[in-house]
Every structure is written in C-alpha cells, then in structure tokens.
Structure 1
Amino acid sequence: MLRLFETISDKAYPIPENEAERQAKVDQYQILDTLPEEEFESLVELAAIITGSPISLMNILDHDRQWSKAVFGDESGQTTPRSETVCQYTVMQDGNFEIEDLTKDERFMNMSYVEGDPKYRSYSGFPLITPEGYKVGALCVLDTKPKKLDESQKKALKTLANEIMARLELRNKQHQLEQLNKEKDLFLRAVNHDIKSPINGIVSSAHYLKHHWDGDRDELNEFLSMIELSGQKLINYTGELMSNSMFQTSNELHLDETAIEELIKDLIHIYTPLAKAKGVDIKLDCNTSSPFILDNEKFKLILSNLISNALKFSSINDTITITANTTENKQKVLHCSVKDTGIGIPEDFIPTLFQKNREQQRQGTQGEISTGIGLPLVKHLIDLHGGGIKVKTEEGRGTTFHVVIPEQKK
C-alpha cells in the first residue's frame, strides 16, 4: 500500500495527509463497484434539482481513480483517473469547493470534459466526511455554463452530502452486524463441537464408576484423573467463552490506582494449583513499588490470558517467569512479560497470532482446548490502553510475550 501511495505522490495528486487511513475507510464501506441504488440515485437527482444543475454525481475516491456510485444527467462513465478529477481537490477541503468557470482555471482548462464533450464549465461540491473526519468522496454538481451557487443552494448541497454519509454509515453498521452474526454462528458451532468431548468424558467415567467399578485403586485413579482433566478443560473453555463476551463489550476503560505486584501475586495464587498439577513452576520478578493507573480488571484479563496460555503449552519441569517493572521519563510506563519454557509457537502462526483464527488454534500439552479468542482479546485490551505487545518464540524452546502500557490519566 505504501508503494501505491508513493506512486500517487509521484503523479502530483493532491493527497490528504491521512491518505492511508482515508483509503482504509473507503474500503471498509464496501461501496466501490457496486450496482446503482435508488437511495443514492434519488439524493443525487435532488442535488441537481435544488441547484438548477443539469449534472450531479456522488463520487468515491479510490487509490488512483474516481468512481461514481450515483449519476444524474451524465452518461460519460463511472470511472475517471483520479488525476483528472475536480473532486480530488474537494476532499482536501472541509467545506464547499467551487469553480465558477473551469476554462479559466489552469488545473482543469485542458481536461477532456472541458475542451470536448460534455463541455463542463462550472463545478460545486462538498466532501463526504465520515464521523472520524475522513473524506471518502464528494457530492458535486456541474453545469455547461459558468455559474456560482447561492448560499441556500450550498447549504442544501451540504445537507444532501451529510445524508449520503449517514446512509453509508448505516450500510457499514449493517455489514458489521451481518459479519458479527456469521462469526457468532461459527463460534457457537465450534463451542458445541469442542465442549461435547470433556462432558462425554465426565459422564462416561461417572457412569462406569457407578455401575461397573469393582474397587481396583489404580483404575479409580485413572478415572478420577480423566474426570479432573475433563473438568479443567471445561473451566478453561468457560473462561474463554467469557473472554469472547468481553471482546464484544469491553471498549471503555474504568481506571483504578493499581498495586501491580499484589495483582500479579493474586493471579499466581489462582493458577498455582493447575501449575502444580502439570509440574510447572511459576516465578515472579517484580519492581513496581508505587500504584499505577490503568483499568484493573482489564489488566487482570490481559495477564490471566497470557499466564493461562503459558500453562497450556508447558509440561512437567517447565518454568513460567512473570516480570514487571515501571519506567518514568515524560510518562510512567509499565513493562510486563510472561515467559515460558514450553513448546513454543509455529512460525507460520505468528502473522495472525492476534487475530481470531480457529484454523490455527492448538490443543495444549494435556489436550486443553481453545477458542482462539484469548490473544486477540489481549491485543484489544492493550490497544485500549494505548500500549503494545510483541512476542518472541522458538519451537521447542518457549515463548515470551512483552507488554508495554502507559499510565492512564484519570
């Protein structure tokens, strides 16, 4: 994408400073190259009627082209090279961009639509501005004679541009909801599949002990171990289901003055029984003496997921080391890491490690199951704090997750 923007710059297009983010927003709307739709066609026609203009267009600016979603009064085509458009200048404005006579403007006087058919002479447009402030395109009107719009016409054109943007936003929300519903269906199918195995293990073991066990101690221990492992799988899975719920709802920070060392010690206390059962040692190296302001519950969830992951992929005699310290220059920053000596992460997993991807989820060293939600949730919660996370891993040697979180301002 960077190479593409460099190419555009070489052609001397007027490029917004936030072009990469602007283009990402264009792509998010999924409007490019779609079929005509009455809801946009009618607004474009209304723009022509209100301004007394023979031509009006709803234009979206793509990487290197302008694509017209809705057109009134013009049959010259839906795609124009970006460098030849007037709307490329409209998206550089916060308000109206108007050319009274295109033949007297050096930027446009030699364009084919000015010198030849359809002999445009005047242009007036308003940018289509997203709620975040990105200008994805423009609503414009053109005439075959020089003219200027009066203030009431400009106001009406702006209102119509805002209405187009509102409808694009609504479409986007509908697309997101449809995608969320698809993910939910897939997730529920996966839950149904993954949760049956440990439940069947518990039920079948209990049935055998009730009806067939004859008192052999070794056999009893074997079945109790099976029940214990299946129960632990269900506990882990329930935790990941709660994580998935948090992923959908946790978009706000609730700040607390947090004693980081005490919080980590509490988490270690919670995970110590499971660590002992797997023969794994948990160590702590902490140097955070003063309270640190962050979202206490979300930070617990971050560390809990990382510790749980480390345990899941560790075996007997492995070690998990949790370190935490704070630095302070212009801003206080928390540095935290969770390091294990477990089985490591396959190299081809790394690019999508923090994305929801069930194809790359793995069972733990004792068959622990996973929804694939944990690490994407961790990344999401760290991003909310304005922090960062990176991973260092080697198969067969272990994995370290480094987390950096700046102190929040109440």
Structure 2
Amino acid sequence: MQVAPLPDDEEQRLAKLFSFGVLDTLPQKAFDEITTLASAICGTPIALISFVDRDRQWFKSRIGLDPSETEREVAFCSHAILRPKEVLVVEDATQDQRFHDNPLVTSDPGIRFYAGAPIVSDDGFALGTVCVIDRQPRHIDAAQQQALCALASLVVTLLKHEHSGREESERRAATMLRRNEYLTALSTSGLDLMSFVDTNYIYRYVNQTYLSYWAREPVDIVNRSVQDLLGKALFQTTKTFFDQALAGEQVDFEATIDFPGKGTRHVEVTYLPARDNDGSISGVIVRTHDIQKLKEREEQLRSTVAMLEHKTLEQERFIHIISHDLREPINTINNFASLLAEDESLGQSAMARRNLHYVQAGGRRMASLLDDLLNFLHLEEHALNLKPIDLNQIAEEVQEDLNAALQRSGGRIEVGHLPTTVGDASLLRIALQNLVANGLKFARKGVPPLVRIASKTEGDWLHIEVQDNGIGMHEHQLANIFEMFKRLHSGKEYDGTGLGLSICRRITELHHGRVSVRSDPGKGSCFSLSLPHPTTGVK
C-alpha cells in the first residue's frame, strides 16, 4: 500500500480547514443532499463528503458507510487532495498499485471503484473531497466527473456560508447582546437582511439591505409593527417563531418570500433572542440570508441527474431495439437468402442469382453494422480491467483472427517488438484489430497489402503505430475520419459500417489516450494509438 505524501502546503491547508470549524459538527441537510445527488449521478451505493484532518479523514456527510472517520494513511482522499484541479478516478482498486493491498480494499468496505473531486477553498487549499465509492469496478464519464466537481464547489459555498454567515452572525449577536451594542453591529452586517424587533413586534432597527429588499425607506418600517410590513397572513405564520425567540430559543427556518425590491427569493431566516445586561429578553434579532442562487444550483444539479437518468434509459431502450427488434429480421433474411442460394433445385436464372447476391451482401452489411453499433454502445458500460498486458501477444491474436482476410488479399502483417504496458486487453485488441483490418481492406489494386505494427515511447506516453501501404487519404479527409458513420468510400468499393475508427477513438479515450492519423494518397496511412505508459512497475 502506498501512503500518500503530505502536500507541500500541509500546515497552511490544515489551518484553512480548521478555520471553517466544520470538523466534528452535526449532520446537516444541505450537505446530505449533496451526497444524495453524488450517489444518484454516479450510480454508486456510497457517497461521502470527506475532510482530510491531520491524522484522519472525517465525513461531514455519508451515504452507505457506517464509520464517521478512517485513518488518514489508508484514505483514498489523501491521494486525491494532492491534485486539487483533477478528479481522482480509480476504476478497479485491486489493479492499482497504490491501493490493491489497502485495508479498505482487502476488507470492509471492500472498495473497488473510487472517484473523488477535491473540495478546494478560494485560495487554493484542498480540504477534502466529494467522493463516490462502489464495491465493484466501474467507469464514469466526463459529464459525471464534471457534476462531482460542481458538487465539490457547492460544498465550498456551503462552508463559506456557514462560516461567514451563520456562525459570524451568531458570534456578533452574542457579543452585542452582552455589551448592549447590537444596534451598532446590525448596521455593519454585510449583505444579509438584519432587523431588531422588540417584545411588542415593533421594528426598532433595520439595515440598508433590509430596506433595499423591501423597497422601503426607514420611516416606512422603523417604529411600525411587523404586521404592517408583512401583512396579516404572513405575520401570523412568523409570529410563532417570534414567540419562540422571545421565550429564549434560537429559531432557524427556510422560507420563500416575494420581496418588492428583489422578487421571489428563497431565504434562510434566524431568530435570535436579544438579552439585556441583566439577562432579560428585550426583543428578537432577525437575520435573513438570501440563498436563491444556492437553490438554483441545486435545481440545476437535479436537472442534470434527471437528464443523465433519461439518457441512460434511452440508451438501454436503443440497445434493446438493436439487439432484438432489428437483429431478428436481419437474421431471418440472411438465413433464408442462404437457403435459396444453396438450393440448386430452383434453377435460378443469372439475374436471379445476381439479385440474390445483392440481398446476401446487403444482409451481411446490415448485420455487421448492428454488431459494430452494439460494440460502440457497450463501450460506455464497460468497466476497464486495467492490468499489465503483453502487446506482442495481442498482435499475435489479431493476426490469427484476420488469417482469412490475409489469405483472401494475399497480404501480410509485420510486427516489431512491442512492450508490455497497462491497459484493458480486450479493448486494445479490438482497437488494434480494427486498424489492421482497415489496412488489409483499403489496399491498392494489384498491390498486396502490407501492414506494419510498431511502437515507440515518449516520456510517459506509448505510441502504437499501424502503417499500411494502401490507397491513403487526402488531407481534407482526415479531420472527421474518427466520427461515427464517417465513410470515405461507397459500399460497392469497400465494405464497412463507418464505426470502426469511432470505436478505436472511444477505446483510447477510455484509457485517457488519443488516436491520430497521417496519410499520403496512393502511398498509405499510419494510425497511432497514444496511451499513458507507466515507466515503472510493469513487468
């Protein structure tokens, strides 16, 4: 197990974390809603808001996990905070050298998948993460990672709100109550609406923000009753809270208010009992904090969750249609066409045989298209099985699979020495086979195809190159060559579905790599699969 090193700014980072006063506080609904959203967005049973303390990670909110903290040295989040601008994604912890023997992997809770978006303060300190965990390997796409980052940003907003809003207001309220200076303090309370109401429900003070929201002048509010401003119905609703505060209780609640100067706003309201020096209650300090933007962001996140769920459902329906509703009639056409072609008793004319050939060719193309389309769609659900793989063995398997195509074309494949790297063997085999098959297929007339497979490394990158001596492509044709259904030639010239290169691109993207091509018309093309390549630890 690799223990994460301490960040270079560890002491400053801890000081910033401690300044928020969030550690060991009680659960709060706003934070719990964030973990609920994270779990729904990524489809994981476990979601956490984790803060990395000096010797532990502590969970402000947790779903699907009982402990409220773990030791820091086993925490995945200790690794995540080392790169504050990146989401740490571990698709299978058993295959990751940093975590494969971690107690959280080898025993309860049995972590396999982890994704953590750093919670970064405004001045750049990574305090912890919003993370999701599963007990089985999985993959999340870029949209889900972006949503995790948005949730981490929302946590920072809540921390600032809690720190500079409620806690500061309460501290200042306590100070001014003890010193009987609360009216002076109210005038410097920033953007929140502040007011003081006496025991007879009469406004004795309001700040400028209060006046702005209600679009009134001081003479319209001060020394007038709360009912005069709010109206009878709203006053009767809030009177219960006033009475609780006048009885010595602090009251917190949320409300939606239609302010004449600002429109409808969602607000957080705090009623604090104001005490004189002798301890008697002289009125209520009312703090109203505008959380409309916070609510709008929460709604945007809910909309994102709904959109992702709808997208997943539509994709599942589409896959079902392809797998069953389309494949069955295609299989029926191909089977009956084969029977007709083999039945010599029908005495078919030359035209009938030619037309039947067209039916068979079209049926094969359609079946191939359905297979390629299903392969492409299933890539989104594929959990990467990352482990050391021998690329020479992959190349040998590709040659065996394409033996029939080699014999038909009279071509050959030359394989240079390829290294061992880390990747998903089944996916990289599909990508390599697609590129080699294209090299054999797009051959020049009268020229036996030759495909060379080689590799080179540049720093932390491995480039697997597949070069052919085929027809090549013009420069203007290269820009969109990896798009779905992009074909440069008609089906009469060359068979194909236009999905092979799209599948190659997606496979390299799943490996956090890229695919590129260079080509000369009439001379051939060279495709390059560029993958992150570990320089150590691969044997």
TM-score normalised by structure 1 residue count: 0.51
Q: Could you tell me whether the CA contact under 8 Å between 2:469 and 2:525 is conserved in 1?
A: yes
1:253 paired residue among 384, 400, 415: 384
Please report how far the alpha carbon of residue 186 of structure 1 lies from its aligned counterpart in structure 2 after TM superposition. 9.3
Q: Could you tell me whether the CA contact under 8 Å between 2:268 and 2:290 is conserved in 1?
A: no
Please report how far the alpha carbon of residue 406 of structure 1 lies from its aligned counterpart in structure 2 after TM superposition. 1.6
**Larger RCO (CA within 8 A; separation ≥ 6):** 1
- Looking at structure 2, the residues matched to 239 and 173 of structure 1 have their Cα atoms a distance apart, in angstroms, of 25
Please report how far the alpha carbon of residue 387 of structure 1 lies from its aligned counterpart in structure 2 after TM superposition. 1.2
**Offset from partner CA, 1:295-337 (integer Å, 9 cap, x none):** 11111011112122223322552423232224264x3x32212
Q: Could you tell me whether the CA contact under 8 Å between 1:322 and 1:339 is conserved in 2?
A: yes
Which protein shows a greater Rg?
Answer: 2
1:176 and 2:311 aligned: yes
- Looking at structure 1, the residues matched to 328 and 520 of structure 2 have their Cα atoms a distance apart, in angstroms, of 33
Q: Which residue of 2 aligns with 1:400?
A: 526
SS in 1 for 2:402: helix
1:271 paired residue among 376, 398, 402: 402
Alpha-carbon spacing, 1:120–1:311, altered in 2? closer, same or farther (3 Å)? farther
- Looking at structure 2, the residues matched to 335 and 367 of structure 1 have their Cα atoms a distance apart, in angstroms, of 28
Q: Which residue of 2 aligns with 1:31?
A: none
- Looking at structure 2, the residues matched to 385 and 326 of structure 1 have their Cα atoms a distance apart, in angstroms, of 17
**Offset from partner CA, 1:95-149 (integer Å, 9 cap, x none):** 356795569xxxxxxxxx999998599xxxxxxxxxxxxxxxxxx999669x996
SS in 2 for 1:258: strand
Amino acid at match of 2:421: F
1:305 paired residue among 434, 441, 453: 434
Amino acid at match of 1:386: H
Q: Which residue of 2 aligns with 1:323?
A: 453
Name the % identity. Answer: 16
- Looking at structure 2, the residues matched to 366 and 202 of structure 1 have their Cα atoms a distance apart, in angstroms, of 23
**Offset from partner CA, 1:205-237 (integer Å, 9 cap, x none):** 223x343289xxx9xx99999999789757855
- Looking at structure 2, the residues matched to 141 and 393 of structure 1 have their Cα atoms a distance apart, in angstroms, of 65
SS in 2 for 1:376: helix
Please report how far the alpha carbon of residue 264 of structure 1 lies from its aligned counterpart in structure 2 after TM superposition. 0.3
Q: CA RMSD in A?
A: 5.4
**Offset from partner CA, 1:6-42 (integer Å, 9 cap, x none):** xxxxxxxxxxxxxxxxxxxxxxxxxxxxxxxxxxxxx
SS in 2 for 1:393: strand
Please report how far the alpha carbon of residue 401 of structure 1 lies from its aligned counterpart in structure 2 after TM superposition. 1.0
1:211 paired residue among 337, 346, 351: 346
Residue correspondences, number: 283
Q: Which residue of 2 aligns with 1:94?
A: 157
Q: Could you tell me whether the CA contact under 8 Å between 1:102 and 1:114 is conserved in 2?
A: no
Amino acid at match of 1:258: I
Q: Which residue of 2 aligns with 1:244?
A: 376
SS in 2 for 1:368: coil
- Looking at structure 1, the residues matched to 268 and 381 of structure 2 have their Cα atoms a distance apart, in angstroms, of 49
Alpha-carbon spacing, 1:351–1:365, altered in 2? closer, same or farther (3 Å)? same
Alpha-carbon spacing, 1:158–1:342, altered in 2? closer, same or farther (3 Å)? same
Q: Could you tell me whether the CA contact under 8 Å between 2:440 and 2:449 is conserved in 1?
A: no
Please report how far the alpha carbon of residue 391 of structure 1 lies from its aligned counterpart in structure 2 after TM superposition. 1.3
- Looking at structure 2, the residues matched to 141 and 351 of structure 1 have their Cα atoms a distance apart, in angstroms, of 54
Q: Which residue of 2 aligns with 1:3?
A: none
2:466 paired residue among 331, 335, 338: 338
Q: Which residue of 2 aligns with 1:378?
A: 504
Q: Could you tell me whether the CA contact under 8 Å between 1:324 and 1:334 is conserved in 2?
A: no
- Looking at structure 2, the residues matched to 326 and 305 of structure 1 have their Cα atoms a distance apart, in angstroms, of 20
Structure 2: gaps of 5 or more residues: 1-152, 166-187, 193-208, 218-255, 272-286
1:284 and 2:414 aligned: yes
After the TM superposition, which residues 117-128 of structure 1 pair with which residues of structure 2 at under 5 Å, given as runs?
none
Q: Could you tell me whether the CA contact under 8 Å between 2:423 and 2:511 is conserved in 1?
A: yes
- Looking at structure 2, the residues matched to 355 and 183 of structure 1 have their Cα atoms a distance apart, in angstroms, of 19
Alpha-carbon spacing, 1:298–1:102, altered in 2? closer, same or farther (3 Å)? same
